[in-house]
Structure 1
Amino acid sequence: MLKKVMLVAGAILTGVISSLANAVVILQYHHVSDSTPKSTSVTPAQFAEQMQYLADNDFTVMSLTQAVEQIKLQQTGSPKQIVITFDDGYDSIIDNAAPILAKHQFPFTVFISVKPIDAGYKGMMSWQQIKKLTEQGATIANHSWGHEHLIRYLANETTVQWRQRVGQNLLKTEAEIKQQTGQSVKMLAYPYGEYNAELTSLLDELGFVGLGQQSGAAGNYSSLTALPRFPVAFDYADLSELTIKFTSLNMPVIKQNITDPQLKNGQWRPLLEVTVDTTDIDKHQMMCFVQGQGSQPAIWINDNTFSVQAKRDLPAGRKRYNCTVPSKTQTGYYWFSQAWVRPKNDGTWREE
């Protein structure tokens, strides 16, 4: 009888840990080129090396739509799952990235804004090229009409007016993508990675999935209107560092005291308290990083809640808190990132 109880308990624990470890790592690229801005680029050689690594090391490269469906249904996926995405629709995607992806038969998603394509901006793909990508199996998704700062209000704009304007922007973009490609997956990559509670609420109302630029693995503990992605470019394109991110796990966050990335006036040192399931982690190994201020250990308030806070005011613009901790039973680190976006002291936004 005791043996049976132990077997049942072991099975339950295994199931819990399996659920905790279930993760999808979503990669975010922009340019794949030797001649574009380094801050948003990987070279074709780097990209080829990264894709070859995934192929050689038994990673499952799945489509974004498959990954989202898995998260929606809280399904347990295979180990080492990767999704490949590109923002903006630059021509280096079809010229340099697509042939490498085709070699490995890897699916991928391109988030596009309509205005730069219609205007024929230099370095952007045309609709004809985008349609060619869809024939090769690419998914085309929403990046807003003109790559706007969606969280920002216009002068004298009310919340109702803002919701109407931004909602129309997203629906108009989605309609144009469907007209041009036949696809409508209703997934939005937030331009600049900026989102707030109002925008995620609007996406929920419109039936959209939202993806940010905060790092971490997506999974059962992720919000479908704020899925994390790992940006891959320049300083973040070295394969030796990426291999750690490729095997990252979805931090089992149960609750946060702050979920809205947009900081309120004067609250420039947000105190973030995070409650996690500690079944598969040694809490004393939890380490956090405040972007621009360096690393600091997590401060544990109780057995499963820790806090992290900037020691200096976060500057106007976009910043992040990142926290990682190794798994006790799996290969990889649980990874959590909280995005922040703040205006200047006078309430206006930094020009970008």
Structure 2
Amino acid sequence: MLKRTLLGLLWLISLNANAVVILQYHHVSETTPASTSVTPAQFEEQMQYLAANEFTIIPLTQAVNALKNNTPLADKSIVITFDDGYDSIGLAAAPILAKYDFPYTVFVSVEPIEKAYRGMMSWDDIKTLTEKGATIANHSWAHEHLNRKLDGESKQQWLDRIEANLLATEAEIKKHTGQSVKMLAYPYGEYNGDVEDILKKHDFIGLGQQSGAAGKYSILTALPRFPVAGPYADLDSLKVKFTSLNMPVVKQNITDPQLSQGQWRPELIIELDTSDIYPHQVMCFVQGQGAKKPTWVSETEFSIQASANLPAGRSRYNCTAPSKTKSGYYWFSQAWLRPNNDGSWPKE
């Protein structure tokens, strides 16, 4: 009986072992917009905390290979990523990361680099980072809203344009850095099922901006990341996210974040492996509408639905639950994209 119990506990623990928390940064600066920035002091504090508390910082490529092959990852694994290629990454973040010998990935768009937009790294700057161990990956050619068709564009024309965009960006990154890791961070965190199909066709990994730990239950074309900036840069709140676990979502009725016309209150039905979760402890949150208890439709399935229409643009449903056996919370987020009532998209 004791042997059976110990085996059961080991099996439960193994459910959580293949998970990784991916962090998303933009600026590391005191002079850039707070909504997309951490200060150098905050970044130093966060990296020092990870180093001092036995977190294992691994390259994104290693994390993705483990997820693809369902091979074990070290407990408390963390990946560090940056979007856009701002010069503060090289000036402020890279020296701190080098101090702790932490690997990291920078997702870049080509046009802002080649047009020398203010505050962006040059290709020479980026090449210097790669020589020191950084991974460079795809963030589209010009940081486009990949899910949006242009005026007068047919669906096929849009799909062809996005496909060409991503492949041209990948080729340009390879030309300048020698790297082609075939990973795309969706600009603005926006994607839909058709964009995911393009990634699958070319064996790309996709990373969003919805929260949660990545793991065996994650969709490889929609890996979650925790944005770290502004109000989400507080170390006390980050400590909970650093130890978050991959929510064991066995099935969900909707995976495409782009809502159909008029379907502004999507009902999301989630089936969980509840081996390490007490169902009554699952709590969900509708962005802009607050906490919402899920409705359990069976012993392993619950539904969550907004009480009011989601706003045009980007929003989320988040669900969390404490683990029975580990110190940490399971965390799941479903991104939503909603056009205006007339089918147009909000201006950025």
Residue 212 of structure 1 corresponds to 208
Tell whether the 8 Å contact from 1:21 to 1:250 is kept in structure 2 after alignment: no
Residue 150 of structure 2 corresponds to 154
Residue 46 of structure 2 corresponds to 50
Residue 160 of structure 2 corresponds to 164
How many angstroms does 1:92 deviate by?
0.3
Letter in 2 for 1:259: T
Tell whether the 8 Å contact from 1:26 to 1:82 is kept in structure 2 after alignment: yes
Cα deviation code 1:204-253 (max 9, x no counterpart): 01110000000000000001100000000010000000000000000000
How many angstroms does 1:21 deviate by?
4.5
Residue 66 of structure 1 corresponds to 62
How many angstroms does 1:174 deviate by?
0.3
How many angstroms does 1:308 deviate by?
0.7
**In the alignment, does 2:300 pair up with 1:316?**
no
Tell whether the 8 Å contact from 2:189 to 2:208 is kept in structure 1 after alignment: yes
TM-score by length of 2: 0.98
Cα deviation code 1:264-317 (max 9, x no counterpart): 000000011100000001110101010011011111111000111111100100
Residue 200 of structure 1 corresponds to 196
Tell whether the 8 Å contact from 1:117 to 1:126 is kept in structure 2 after alignment: yes
How many angstroms does 1:9 deviate by?
6.1
How many angstroms does 1:18 deviate by?
1.2
Residue 328 of structure 1 corresponds to 324
Taking the aligned partners of 1:272 and 1:33, their CA distance within structure 2 comes to 38
Tell whether the 8 Å contact from 1:111 to 1:189 is kept in structure 2 after alignment: yes
Letter in 1 for 2:320: T
- What is the RMSD computed on CA atoms of the aligned residues? 1.0
How many angstroms does 1:61 deviate by?
0.2
How many angstroms does 1:158 deviate by?
2.3
Taking the aligned partners of 1:76 and 1:175, their CA distance within structure 2 comes to 32
How many angstroms does 1:13 deviate by?
4.9
How many angstroms does 1:202 deviate by?
1.0
Choose from 338, 342, 346 the match for 1:346.
342
Taking the aligned partners of 2:319 and 2:337, their CA distance within structure 1 comes to 18
Choose from 96, 102, 106 the match for 1:106.
102
Identity, in percent, stands at 66
Where 2:321 maps in the other structure, the secondary structure is strand
Question: Runs of at least 4 residues of structure 1 off by over 4 A?
Answer: none
Residue 136 of structure 1 corresponds to 132
Choose from 205, 209, 227 the match for 1:231.
227
TM-score by length of 1: 0.97
Residue 95 of structure 1 corresponds to 91
Taking the aligned partners of 1:135 and 1:275, their CA distance within structure 2 comes to 45
Cα deviation code 1:170-223 (max 9, x no counterpart): 000000000000000000000000011111111101110000000000000001
**In the alignment, does 2:11 pair up with 1:15?**
yes
Length, aligned pairs only: 348
Taking the aligned partners of 1:266 and 1:169, their CA distance within structure 2 comes to 30
Cα deviation code 1:95-122 (max 9, x no counterpart): 0000000000000000000000000011
Deviates more, 1:289-298 or 1:210-219: 289-298
Taking the aligned partners of 2:227 and 2:194, their CA distance within structure 1 comes to 24
Residue 239 of structure 2 corresponds to 243
Quick one: structure 1 residues 21 and 273, their matched pair in 2 at CA, closer, same or farther if it must change by over 3 Å?
A: farther
Taking the aligned partners of 2:28 and 2:280, their CA distance within structure 1 comes to 39
Where 1:272 maps in the other structure, the secondary structure is strand
Where 2:74 maps in the other structure, the secondary structure is coil
Taking the aligned partners of 2:62 and 2:162, their CA distance within structure 1 comes to 27
Tell whether the 8 Å contact from 2:138 to 2:183 is kept in structure 1 after alignment: yes
Taking the aligned partners of 2:131 and 2:159, their CA distance within structure 1 comes to 35
Letter in 1 for 2:339: P
Deviates more, 1:74-83 or 1:91-100: 74-83
Residue 174 of structure 1 corresponds to 170
Letter in 2 for 1:179: K
How many angstroms does 1:160 deviate by?
1.9
How many angstroms does 1:19 deviate by?
2.2
Cα deviation code 1:119-142 (max 9, x no counterpart): 001100011100000011000000
Tell whether the 8 Å contact from 2:315 to 2:335 is kept in structure 1 after alignment: yes
Which runs of no fewer than 5 residues in structure 1 stay unpaired? none
Taking the aligned partners of 2:6 and 2:237, their CA distance within structure 1 comes to 34
Taking the aligned partners of 1:76 and 1:98, their CA distance within structure 2 comes to 28
Taking the aligned partners of 1:80 and 1:211, their CA distance within structure 2 comes to 20
Letter in 2 for 1:253: V
Choose from 178, 184, 187 the match for 1:188.
184
